[in-house]
């Protein structure tokens, strides 16, 4: 149920709107949103039936034409209907309409209005553009709603949580900002970035539900060619967006390209350094609240996949991690059946997984590059939003029909934003 009730912001003369202005606003609405409650001063249509006369109000499509015709007579729209009209507009149009007057800015910035708007509209995608120093917030048709400059040069990795986003630039540079306001939260320069023989660090943004803190986790591998038989050591640092604190290193070498953060825990795939040392989908866990690595790893669904498909081996490149509607899932690319399977973690202690979706007809190769399909979110109608990392395609898969729908194509790293662009701190509502 949508939270559409208008907040008590003053009914008397709040947001009185001329009819011709309302007409222009209604033209911004999608066709499926034109079934609006009518303004109070419009005529009522009568429809005759054999058993009597029943009255109903004009549809919004007819209302807008009548409003334009009667605009010169002083037709106006009061707060209750204005609230319902604005509630149906996309966030991009509402951000423009805020410039009309102060009362509209107050209405569209009100947390009650923003929460109701958030419940009615799909989430936005956030794109880290590889070819420019910007992050784009887009709708699911690819239209840019907001451009946020990030400085420091083009970024490489994007992670989000709530209203905050973090762009890792490589060599220890990270930029944290608020997606709703565009304001910078932290411009991070990791002390160890100048170390020689060091891999580029990866920064992961997480949130601790118990305290409400945002924390930034930095993982970096350093070569130790001068001793220890040419081995590697992994450093780990964490900060509460203020100062870095050294933490114990992870239990093994991590796969920094496949990480997911769920409920204050960061999950990393472990690439097996040698055949037989680890399963291809073993997962290490870092507790953001305690700032400690879990002493044991959990095994992914590879054993279940082998039993189900009668395969003899699952390769590391076939696995990835993702956050799907605030739950941890393992993504498995079935190269033999041209499908992508999504496995949900049910029991962490027992490493128990269950397969929730099979996406048929996925293409894994873009000329010569392996193309991974990352699930972004599940819509209310059951469709699954997927980003293809090589082609840049954002597509929707319908598990009921097996059909794919192409929505947009972007250049950059894509994640989801489930918060409101109208008012901060409303994510997850």
- Helices 19-26/60-69 angle, 10° precision: 140
- Separation CA 214–CA 56 (nearest Å): 52
Residue 287: which pLDDT band, with cuts at 50, 70 and 90? very high
Q: What percent of the chain has pLDDT over 90?
A: 12
**Residue 15 pLDDT more than 70?**
no
Q: Cα torsion for 425, 204, 410, 179, to the nearest 10°?
A: 20
Q: Which of 20, 13, 60 is nearest to 39 (CA)?
A: 60
Q: What is the model's pLDDT at position 405?
A: 92
Mean pLDDT on 394-405: 92
Q: Residue 208 is encoded by which pair of tokens?
A: 């601790």
- Separation CA 163–CA 227 (nearest Å): 44
**156-297 adopts what CATH topology?**
Lipocalin (2.40.128)
Q: Residue 304 is encoded by which pair of tokens?
A: 């279940």
Query: What is the H or E stretch that residue 108 is in?
Result: helix 102-109
Sheet strands (E) in 275-411: 283-287, 292-293, 319-324, 327-334, 339-347, 352-360, 365-366, 369-370, 373-378, 384-388, 393-398, 403-409
Mean pLDDT on 191-196: 48
Q: What is the model's pLDDT at position 226?
A: 34
Mean pLDDT on 359-383: 79
Query: What is the H or E stretch that residue 184 is in?
Result: strand 184-189
Q: What is the model's pLDDT at position 394?
A: 92
Q: Cα torsion for 347, 349, 350, 354, to the nearest 10°?
A: 20
Whole-number average pLDDT of the chain: 72
Q: What percent of the chain has pLDDT over 70?
A: 62
Cα angle 63-65-71, degrees, rounded to a multiple of 5: 95
Query: What is the H or E stretch that residue 82 is in?
Result: helix 79-87
Quick check: 125 and 138 in contact, CB under 8 A?
A: yes
Instruction: Write down the domain spans for the chain.
Output: 17-120, 156-297
Residue 22: which pLDDT band, with cuts at 50, 70 and 90? low
Tell me the per-residue pLDDT of 349-361, one tens digit each, with 9 for 90 and over: 888 999 999 998 7
Coil, strand or helix at 31: helix
Residue 367: which pLDDT band, with cuts at 50, 70 and 90? very low
Tell me the per-residue pLDDT of 298-314, one tens digit each, with 9 for 90 and over: 888 877 666 566 554 55
């Amino acid at each position: 149920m949508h939270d559409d009730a208008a907040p008590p912001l003053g009914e008397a003369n709040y947001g009185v709107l001329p009819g011709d202005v309302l007409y222009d606003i209604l033209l911004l609405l999608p066709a499926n949103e034109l079934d609006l409650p009518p303004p109070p001063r419009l005529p009522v249509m009568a429809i005759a039936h054999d058993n009597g006369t029943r009255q109903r109000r004009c549809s919004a499509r007819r209302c807008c034409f009548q409003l334009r015709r009667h605009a010169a007579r002083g037709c106006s729209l009061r707060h209750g209907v204005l609230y319902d009209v604005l509630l149906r507009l996309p966030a991009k149009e509402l951000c423009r309409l805020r410039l009309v007057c102060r009362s509209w800015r107050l209405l569209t910035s009100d947390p009650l209005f923003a929460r109701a708007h958030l419940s009615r509209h799909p989430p936005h995608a956030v794109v880290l553009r590889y070819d420019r120093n910007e992050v784009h917030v887009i709708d699911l048709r690819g239209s840019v709603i907001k451009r946020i400059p990030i400085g420091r040069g083009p970024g490489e990795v994007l992670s989000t949580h709530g209203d905050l986003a973090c762009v890792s630039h490589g060599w220890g540079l990270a930029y944290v900002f608020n997606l709703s306001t565009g304001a910078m939260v932290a411009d991070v320069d990791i002390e160890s970035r100048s170390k020689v023989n060091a891999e580029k660090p990866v920064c992961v943004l997480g949130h601790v539900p118990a305290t409400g803190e945002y924390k930034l986790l930095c993982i970096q591998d350093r070569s130790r060619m001068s001793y220890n038989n040419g081995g590697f050591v992994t450093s780990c640092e964490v900060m509460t967006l203020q100062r870095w604190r050294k933490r114990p290193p992870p239990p093994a070498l991590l796969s920094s390209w496949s990480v997911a953060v769920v409920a204050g825990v960061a999950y990393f795939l472990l690439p097996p350094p040698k055949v037989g040392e680890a399963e291809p989908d073993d997962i290490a866990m870092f507790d953001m609240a305690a700032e400690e690595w879990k002493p044991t790893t959990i095994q992914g669904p590879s054993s279940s996949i082998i039993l189900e498909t009668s395969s003899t081996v699952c390769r590391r490149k076939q696995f990835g991690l993702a956050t799907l509607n605030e739950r941890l899932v393992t993504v498995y690319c079935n190269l033999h059946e041209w499908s992508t399977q999504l496995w949900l973690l049910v029991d962490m202690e027992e490493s128990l997984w269950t397969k929730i979706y099979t996406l048929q007809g996925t293409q894994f190769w873009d000329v010569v590059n392996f193309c991974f399909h990352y699930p972004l979110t599940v819509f209310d109608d059951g469709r699954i939003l997927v980003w293809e990392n090589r082609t840049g395609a954002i597509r929707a898969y319908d598990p009921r029909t097996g059909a794919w729908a192409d929505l947009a194509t972007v250049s950059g790293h894509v994640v989801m934003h489930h918060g409101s662009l109208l008012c901060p701190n409303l994510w997850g509502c």
